[in-house]
Amino acid sequence: MDLASDLSSRMRAYNPETDPALITKAVDYARKMHDGQKRASGEDYYTHPVAVAGILADLKMDPTTIVTAILHDTLEDTKATTEDLTKLFGEEVATLVNGVSKLTKIESQTVEGKQAENFRKLVLAMSEDIRVLLVKLADRLHNMRTLGVMRPDKVRRIARETLDIYAPLAERIGVHALKEELEDLAFSALNPEARDSILNRLTFLRQEGTDVVTNIISELQGLMKEASIKAHVSGREKTRYSIWKKMQRKNISFEQLSDIMAFRIVVENIEECYHAMGLIHSRYPMVPGRFKDFISTPKPNGYRSIHTTVIGPQNHRIEVQIRTKNMHEEADLGVAAHWAYKQADVKAAINDAKKYRWLRELLDILEQDQRPEDFWENTKLELFQDQVFAFSPKGDLIELPNGATPIDFAYAIHSNVGNRCIGAKINGRIAPLNTKLQNGDQVEIITAKTQNPSPTWERFVVTGKARSHIRRFIRQQQKTEYTTLGRAMLQKIFKAEGYEFTEKAVAGVASQFRECEDVEDVFAGIGSGNLVARDVFRVIFPAHKSEGDKKEITPEDFAQNAKAQVNKISRDKLPIKGLIPGMAVHFARCCHPLPGDRIVGIVTTGKGVTVHTIDCETLEQFADTPERWLDVSWGEGKDTPEERVGRLVITIENQPGSLGTLSTVIGKSGGNITNLKITNRSVDFWDMFLDVSVTDTKHLNNIMAALRATPQIVSVERARGR
């Protein structure tokens, strides 16, 4: 039997209406177009797309998808055109093939850039019709099956890309059969020793525990029968890669794993799912924290099932999955089930697939102005993750990765909500924006029209969407600062040389500078140091000679001398992170924040930002104006040149020499008393405020420890809000 006949017979097994002539026509066209082309194995190239179509036939895909798979490389690798495909196979097939193809060769400086750019195109294509992704996944699976003939370095690169991108994509659309084989093949290529070790151990346990598995299935089947529930019970080993991931995540050995088998109970309807769950929980002790109801709250990819872990028959810890027959089919096929031969309304299936939130997230990341490598990184963040489910006040379910914060939640709702976020309530209580969300949390986002993303958010957000928006804002903000600085520097040179400054003069030479399209780009280039201001001046006035040519004004020189003291940009880091460069900063005298303290910024009209410690009592005055609060933290570079003041509340014995001892201890610890105020005198003790010049909280704590060890000192505490 030839390839076309074999493929047709496999399709007719699940779709009797399959037209063998269409399949033969597609295979013949692929053979003709790929004539003379060979795979690395030496086989005729056209056998590869036919094999890809066979993988999709196993998923019971519709004829349009099968034909697309057969033709998926014709546009990229042969002389075939979109018009040819439209004429021979129809517009729908041509559109899908065009979506799968890489379309054009991408010019890029890095391999990662090529991968990223191609993946951007894949995201755009599959956003129109997710069958593009199904064909691409099948294509990747067949390539993974035939990796053996390639160079080892290429094998590892393809396998890593498969684990990072394509296996998570398969999981996202719920096609677990593809996902598990992709992971296993990539695991075999990247870490064959670990895979073989797990395989040998599983084989041994399989031989030793045959009776155990059979007995557990029999007991669960009997439990269902007693309750008159018609159910099919089966046992399934967890995949080698999932076992490996769990060993790595929990840092445990194979022998310490207690649930490498999952038992599945498939029943007739939803009511019986919950009846079966009640029977199991009443018979066997449930393991706390291991119950998940994906029926009442399905996963975003449509997956539905009840998962529970119990101490089951013979005291074995087992995972049990309970679902209906329809749920079981959807769990295996995922979004592919929408295009099974019985699907009547293909347009409805396409629209339904477009509802996937994660796909919208990828599109949103794609729309951000960023390098291809950034998109690649953010995409992996979006896909390669464990999950946390949180709820909006209206009850909408938002799926996020582990470690997600209210900022991630805000961006998941809408990019504008994230950009304007100033605070959050978790389960009705105000919480810091860097709080890690837990499963089941209800999150309410507080917004303000005047708020913008804070650069400090990038340190704790975990979703690609949040990170891409924050980075975009930072880039825009930096460009604004660079533009202001660059314009002022160029204006100063014009004035010094006796010329009237006009933007028109700069616009006339903008195209002569690399990566400069307009006046703003020239100014930004000067401000960032990528362009030299006097070089720009010389291009505008090539015949001019002046003393200024002997010494160039750098961005740093200008920043030091400029009255506005605009951000220095390149050299020293700001002492406070999270502020817009150039913003005035004051340190609150009520709490005297020190480097090392957790801090918060309060916006004060006309004064800039006042920095307080997070536990300062003064902050209660701003509880009703959350829009004035900023998430800030100490910078990693050197602090401002002068030392900070730490305020202490001290009680000393009223004895001769006590004050001298106090001063000596502080001096030996590297501190310096800058102010002293006695607040209470008695016969035996004196209470006082003491301001000490120190470098940070560690320095102050060392001084306090030394004072507490001094006999004349009764008590030492740090002053808060005084």
Active site residues: 76-77
For helices 131-145 and 47-58, what crossing angle results, to 10°? Answer: 120
Q: What is d(CA 129, CA 415) in angstroms, rounded to the nearest whole number?
A: 24
Q: Tokens standing for 47?
A: 């056998």
Question: Is-contact 692 646, C-beta < 8 A?
Answer: yes
Residues constituting the chain: 722
Residue 59's Cα: distance from chain center in Å? 30
Short-list 240, 230, 153, 242, CA closest to 202: 240
Residues 6+ apart with CB under 8 A from 348: none
Q: What is d(CA 592, CA 690) in angstroms, rounded to the nearest whole number?
A: 12
Q: Count the helices and strands in the chain (H runs, E runs).
A: 29, 20
For residue 356, report the phi and psi dihedrals to the nearest 5 degrees.
-60, 120
Residues 6+ apart with CB under 8 A from 618: 588, 590, 591, 612, 721
Q: What is d(CA 498, CA 496) in angstroms, rounded to the nearest whole number?
A: 6
For residue 227, report the phi and psi dihedrals to the nearest 5 degrees.
-95, 10
For helices 82-89 and 91-100, what crossing angle results, to 10°? Answer: 140
For residue 199, report the phi and psi dihedrals to the nearest 5 degrees.
-60, -45
Short-list 250, 245, 260, CA closest to 204: 260
For residue 217, report the phi and psi dihedrals to the nearest 5 degrees.
-60, -45
For residue 231, report the phi and psi dihedrals to the nearest 5 degrees.
-140, 150
SS3 content of the chain, % helix, strand, coil (to 5): 50, 15, 30
DSSP state string for 255-280: GG----EEEEEEESSHHHHHHHHHHH
Q: Tokens standing for 636?
A: 């990693």
Short-list 103, 49, 52, CA closest to 75: 103
**Bridge partner residues of 586 (DSSP):** 610
Q: What is d(CA 594, CA 85) in angstroms, rounded to the nearest whole number?
A: 69
What DSSP designation does 61 have?
A: B
Residue 49, helix vs strand vs coil: helix
Q: What is d(CA 273, CA 224) in angstroms, rounded to the nearest whole number?
A: 11
Cα 467 to Cα 230, 280, 453, 570, 581: the distances in Å are 49, 43, 10, 23, 20
Query: Is the torsion defined by CA of 551, 552, 556, 559 positive or negative?
Result: positive
Question: Is-contact 555 523, C-beta < 8 A?
Answer: no
Short-list 532, 520, 415, 510, CA closest to 465: 415
Q: What is d(CA 671, CA 669) in angstroms, rounded to the nearest whole number?
A: 6
Q: Tokens standing for 604?
A: 């004060």
What type of residue sits at position 5?
Answer: S
Q: What is d(CA 722, CA 720) in angstroms, rounded to the nearest whole number?
A: 6
CB atoms near residue 550 (< 10 Å): 7
Q: Tokens standing for 281?
A: 């929980």
Alpha helices (runs of H) in 384-463, residue ranges in sequence order = 406-413, 415-419
